[in-house]
Structure 1
């Protein structure tokens, strides 16, 4: 069943690769026009080249408030009213808390929480004035269950989830919906950076779980692909989810046992 996004305008951050790139592709396949942004323009430029004018590539540092405001303003002037905003930009700094530096903590929050604030705020200001719109933040199941070595990442994603829910409450009466999608282990460069041995062994360890690290496995028996997360995003921004807001949709194969 089509999500019915033909003609709608979307802004996606962190779109150069992985989940962000998959979200752009899925939105474009459903007929949306997409402004794809990333700190590194190479990936979004490649996306734009493969989608025949339907995707516009723009560089963006989501930690820069002025740059975000300028891009959203430019997007609406050039392409029309923004219907959809999807926050995917994120970074991961893996470290035990006793070894975690202030710099790593601050960088993680600047992107994973601050970036969500900057983009969502800019989009919400315009959407509420028009009485419609949808904002989705891609968070992580680490926001809902402790993960050894991921304290900064997990805390920043938990902040992003609660921020998005609070925003959703504030703008609901003005026709804007705000939801989060929380993936588990997904085949992205970020996931591969956590692997310490060959890919097959790493995948098996993630799927089976790790008792020593107090980590459950994945009951569905597979690691997600970026498209699995993108499909959830497309659903939430579509009219098929018109009565859903302030929801956190886990896409993790049951890995957290929905703790």
Structure 2
């Protein structure tokens, strides 16, 4: 992909303070885009893009931020919903807060943003949306009920929005990562030893392992996202690309 592939493009990326969202935002900057990141956290100093703090689960905050961004420019070329929350545990042990937190960030947040920017995309009759879901939306995961259900909701939301926007020339696709080297995964599995178990498999959790024999990097996910947002994917919409080294075995 060319070094200036997205020169002059205005890009909005959620979850941009860390992990996958941050790397996606950085890669868009590196390819010439004007990037605005959204995140509940302030982020580290020295990010190459502007980061706006917002709780995406709060519809009022989302409205306030979107109105401010529209006041700066009524154009938006690319929207990437990468923010995510993971709460784990057996279904009977999950609290109402666990359940609601996953849906609020993983499904409702993208919906709130899309409601504000869909009219912009329709008016432009151009643009691309990429939603970051999970391979957990494709296969059941023991101890991940709230996360799986919320990411499945995000996938369905993406397909419906994509169908509505297709007549306007706007594409909407999904990237579904598997286990990826991020602070969230590291803290969940306990570092390199946990990564090795994910690669070889966890039969008690019905995880078969990763055929490619490695954990994904944030660049693996970012490059797929940039491809789907680019003109190279100009006839691709309503698709869900699973980036998990074969862990779902084509499910």
Runs of at least 4 residues of structure 1 off by over 3 A? none
What is the aligned counterpart of 1:112 among 106, 116, 123?
Answer: 106
In structure 2, relative to structure 1, the CA distance for the partners of 1:162 and 1:207 (3 Å cut) is same
- Number of the residue aligned with 2:42: 41
Correspondence 1:240 to 2:243: no
What is the aligned counterpart of 2:219 among 217, 227, 230?
Answer: 227
- Number of the residue aligned with 1:218: 210
Tell me how far apart the structure 1 counterparts of residues 69 and 20 of structure 2 sit (CA, whole Å): 22
Tell me how far apart the structure 1 counterparts of residues 66 and 11 of structure 2 sit (CA, whole Å): 11
RMSD over aligned Cα atoms:
1.3
Do the aligned partners of 1:9 and 1:80 also contact (CA within 8 Å) in 2? no
User: Equivalent residue of 2:211, what SS?
Assistant: coil
Give the superposition deviation at 1:79: 4.2
- Number of the residue aligned with 2:130: 136
User: Equivalent residue of 1:41, what SS?
Assistant: coil
Q: TM-score, structure 1 length as denominator?
A: 0.93
- Number of the residue aligned with 1:149: 143
Provide structure 1 residue ranges, at least 5 long, that are not aligned to the other structure.
none
Which stretch shifts more, 6-15 or 74-83?
74-83
Correspondence 1:177 to 2:171: yes
Tell me how far apart the structure 2 counterparts of residues 176 and 70 of structure 1 sit (CA, whole Å): 25
- Number of the residue aligned with 1:69: 63
Tell me how far apart the structure 2 counterparts of residues 116 and 81 of structure 1 sit (CA, whole Å): 18
Give the superposition deviation at 1:201: 1.8
Tell me how far apart the structure 2 counterparts of residues 190 and 228 of structure 1 sit (CA, whole Å): 16
- Number of the residue aligned with 2:78: 84
Tell me how far apart the structure 1 counterparts of residues 47 and 55 of structure 2 sit (CA, whole Å): 23
Correspondence 1:123 to 2:117: yes
- Number of the residue aligned with 1:12: 13
Provide structure 2 residue ranges, at least 5 long, that are not aligned to the other structure.
none
Tell me how far apart the structure 2 counterparts of residues 120 and 195 of structure 1 sit (CA, whole Å): 33
Q: TM-score, structure 2 length as denominator?
A: 0.96
Correspondence 1:162 to 2:161: no
Give the superposition deviation at 1:80: 4.8
Equivalent residue pairs, number? 250
User: Equivalent residue of 2:17, what SS?
Assistant: coil
Correspondence 1:96 to 2:85: no
Tell me how far apart the structure 2 counterparts of residues 185 and 77 of structure 1 sit (CA, whole Å): 38
